[in-house]
Structure 1
Amino acid sequence: MSQHYGLFINGKWIQTQEQNEVLNKYNGDVFATVSKASEQEVEDAINHAQAAFESEDFPPYQRYKTLLKVSELLQAHKEELAQVITNEAGKPIKQARTEIDRATQTFELSAEEAKRITGEGVPVEAAPGSENRMAFTMRVPVGVVGAISPFNFPVNLVAHKIAPAIAAGNAVVLKPASATPVSSLKLAELFEEAGLPEGFLNVLVGSGSTVGNQMMEDERINYYTFTGSAEVGLKLKQNTGLNKLTLELGNNSPVIVDRKADVDQAATTLAQKSFAYAGQVCISVQRIYVHEDIQEAFQKKFIEATEELKVGDPFDAQTDVGPMIGEKEAEGAEEWLQEAKGQGADVIHGGKRKGAILEPTIVSNVDHSMKVVSEEVFAPIVTLMSFSDLDQCIKEVNKSDYGLQGGIFTTDIDRAFKAARKVEVGGFMINDASQYRVDLMPYGGVKNSGWGKEGPKYTINDMTEERLVVMNLKQ
């Protein structure tokens, strides 16, 4: 029997008339039901968040203790939360467990940073006429943070939004993805157990067209942090005026396999990192550019490594690739494949779909006019292209509208650094896949991939404002 969850507003669990069904993404059964927010609940959440922030009753050491307690509780409830992720997101259980481990670190890092928010001295006395003055800066929280999170990392990407916001002293109104809201509500339970003061975290469930739009239009929200499509991110940026924001948007990660690459290492790593969580990761490998001298050897090894991946039930601890977030999304990816085939592409591995499960798929004979290359497929589909000249390859790589992360496999350090300097991305990996990420690093893209950086230290800097204080001292 499915469990029901209310909304979390001002430290209380609120039930509403309308409900949202959350489906198990593998078998389609109802996993849980969740109350849906109306305009009144959104209004209440923002009111309480603003009141909590203005109370100034949450000093840095208390923020540290609260976030550290949530980190500890995450590990104590690791298996329970991993099961929730696998149910509502369809993520293979071994990857869900890893996500909880990462979220634990994100909360721990944010807790530590809560005690490190500092300004700096400003030598205004060095200016003529200001000899009797002293000055310094301090960082103050921005106020109410509106957080909108995606389905693919329903615990850790939420952690990257709410943990730094709270560490900085802000109050949060969170709207998780409608497909995966239970993870956020379970996090709210942990915050409640950790003693978070009322109003500093509010969790609303509802569609982007209702809850999201109302949050976007509310002037009391001082900062927006959003992960999702470039189209919605652009709308958010255009409609939130001069408010500060962080946008983590689309991508179609490129990786170059150079002629001096370790072919076995590159093929094995890329097979694992291209298809993890059915390719539904913002930095999943989508475009692989292989030097023509090693193209045949790489392709053979890459197919072999992909064939070793286990596809199926995400609750099986051996499964590498489970269902996509829904059958509709899997059908859409399949349509892109068919369109590419009609334009001359060859599917050299995979391509078959059953329900929401699409096999890991490798496509060759592609070019930048095809959607599977130029747009974000967000599915277990990888394209292979060959090159002969590295400079020309980099120009092809940079034709993309996106630029989140990319990489190169090579043993030639000069060619590695040439690519690192010239490939237009926010993060570049040498001898690793574009999907590499640890939670303390600055993470964010260029071009249509976004605006701003995640990573607790960097997010806290963005979620605070610098204030200058000048003292006019007596002679």
Structure 2
Amino acid sequence: MTTVESPPTAQPIWRPPAGALWSGRWVDGASAMPVRDPEDGSLLGHVTDTSPVEVDQAVAGVAAAGTSGEEWPAWRRREALDAAARLVLRRREVLTEVMSREGCKTVREATAEVSRAAETLRLSAQQTGRLTGETLPFSDTSRGAGRLGWYTREPVGVVAAITPFNDPLNLVAHKVGPALAAGNGVVLKPAEATPLTALAFAEILLDAGVPAERLAVVPGTGAGTGRALVGHPLVDLVSFTGGFRTGNEVARAAGAKKTLMELGGNNAVLVLDDAAREAAAHAVVAGAFGVAGQNCLSVQRVFVSSRIADRFIRDVVTATEALRVGRKADSRTDIGPLISEREAGRVQEWVREAREGGAEVRTGGQREGAFHWPTVLTGVPADAKVMTEEIFGPVLVIEPFETVDEAITRANGTRYGLQAGIFTAALETALDVAERLRVGAVMINDSSDFRIDAMPFGGPKRSGVGREGVRYAVEAMTEPKVVAVRRSA
């Protein structure tokens, strides 16, 4: 693995028309918040640190725009979202630069995310023609005699969307796209670290024809801006992606509102003795260390058959040591920085705790500023944080198992249940394991780190509430409305 090179002098970056968006216009709020590159701390610009009073203005403006769909019919929503998908691809270079500079993604990772965000918008546009209901069986009860009726799906109203730093474009698209497709208004609070990407995305939506009064972007802190937003009485649904503890705070602040929450994972992969060992090792390394492990689907725990464990560990260590740690702007870089030096220090502390408990560092373990080298651990105590919590960093734990039953029990032995993977040549075994794993999705002969944007996304236990994925988010962001007609006697 290479060492981090000194960054070149920072060049100017795209700037938004103003520090926030609400009431149908770009505005600068009363307070400003700096945006810095986590790689070197350089100042990239400022956005609004939206106050509770300003949040109230933003929510009230979106609510006043109306959500009946009459002024912005489904076909216009479809056209705007399709146009936005095309504009995202057309502005790939700007989005890639902004995303990579303010966040933790390498240029290669950011470029790939632009394509995914365009696809998410395209999928959202398709849903406008599927907002259909069905007729109701009034004739199936004597009390329904002389009546006929149906239900339609109507927008919930105002959606508050709170997004994380690790996928600052596509996860914004995953909340805003379905919300707009369903006919709602949206107030977006992006992550404190990555607000410029969200503002660039908002500019694209407006240029594509989304009515400005139906969209607001309110950068700011979670404690100030976020709390005021989710607790606002005119907000009808809160869609949040982040950590479990913050999710609890969001739920308390929101009160009796509909919520969609994706709260992370501590994802396991099972490698059986009949697996394609080298292919499994490379998939695990890619799934563990992409975006420096800052991904809710990252592989964190691997349980490998003791019959192949030594060879598998060697394969993983070799593949890990081939990764290049370096500047985000270098197209050769595989591993960039964490979102902050503080987070890198936390990851280092979790690794230290595991080592003091008897774990062996097979490779990695070192830190330099916001960079933490990809790390492989074995012999980790069962109660160490790297085994029980979501690390959200480039750390992988590998442990041998004797029986498949043991592996399933250990994989399920966490308070999270987002996704899992299994490598085996035996289809019957794979299907049996998939049935017994308590997670939202199981990837067979793949790592946990796989998702298409059309699939239902989420998991049981601490991993969240409800399901995202475009079609399923649209359904959650609408409500059935019944119309019943009583015939004349």
TM-score by length of structure 1 reads 0.98
Counterpart mapping for 1:299-448 below 5 A: 299-448=313-462
Pairing partner for 1:11 from 24, 28, 34: 24
In 1, Cα distance between equivalents of 2:427 and 2:302: 19
Unaligned runs of 5+ in 1: none
- 1:46 aligned onto 2:95: no
The answer to whether the 8 A contact 1:348-1:362 is kept is yes
What CA RMSD, in Å, does the superposition of the two structures yield over aligned residues? Answer: 1.2
Deviation at 1:198, TM superposition (A): 2.7
Q: Which runs of 4+ in 1 moved over 3 A?
A: 1-5
Pairing partner for 1:99 from 113, 119, 123: 113
Deviation at 1:216, TM superposition (A): 2.1
Q: CA distance change for structure 1 residues 470 and 17 in 2, over 3 Å: closer, same or farther?
A: closer
In 2, Cα distance between equivalents of 1:244 and 1:54: 16
Residue deviations 1:156-210, cap 9 Å, x none? 0000000000000000010000100000000111112112113211000111111
In 2, Cα distance between equivalents of 1:231 and 1:290: 31
Pairing partner for 2:158 from 126, 144, 147: 144
In 1, Cα distance between equivalents of 2:347 and 2:134: 51
Q: CA distance change for structure 1 residues 242 and 39 in 2, over 3 Å: closer, same or farther?
A: closer
- 1:33 aligned onto 2:84: no
Unaligned runs of 5+ in 2: 1-11
Secondary structure of 1:31's match? Answer: strand
Aligned to 2:291: 277
Which letter maps to 1:196?
A: V
In 2, Cα distance between equivalents of 1:46 and 1:342: 50
Counterpart mapping for 1:196-215 below 5 A: 196-215=210-229
Percent pairwise identity: 38
Q: How many residues align?
A: 475
- 1:460 aligned onto 2:486: no
The answer to whether the 8 A contact 1:52-1:198 is kept is no
Deviation at 1:54, TM superposition (A): 4.7
- 1:20 aligned onto 2:33: yes
In 2, Cα distance between equivalents of 1:291 and 1:11: 58
The answer to whether the 8 A contact 1:53-1:169 is kept is no
In 2, Cα distance between equivalents of 1:237 and 1:22: 28
Deviation at 1:137, TM superposition (A): 1.2
Which letter maps to 2:45?
A: A
Residue deviations 1:301-329, cap 9 Å, x none? 11111122111111111211100000000
Deviation at 1:129, TM superposition (A): 4.5
Counterpart mapping for 1:191-230 below 5 A: 191-230=205-244
Counterpart mapping for 1:229-268 below 5 A: 229-268=243-282
The answer to whether the 8 A contact 2:104-2:166 is kept is no
In 2, Cα distance between equivalents of 1:61 and 1:150: 30
Secondary structure of 1:114's match? Answer: helix
Deviation at 1:393, TM superposition (A): 1.4
Aligned to 1:183: 197
Aligned to 1:120: 134
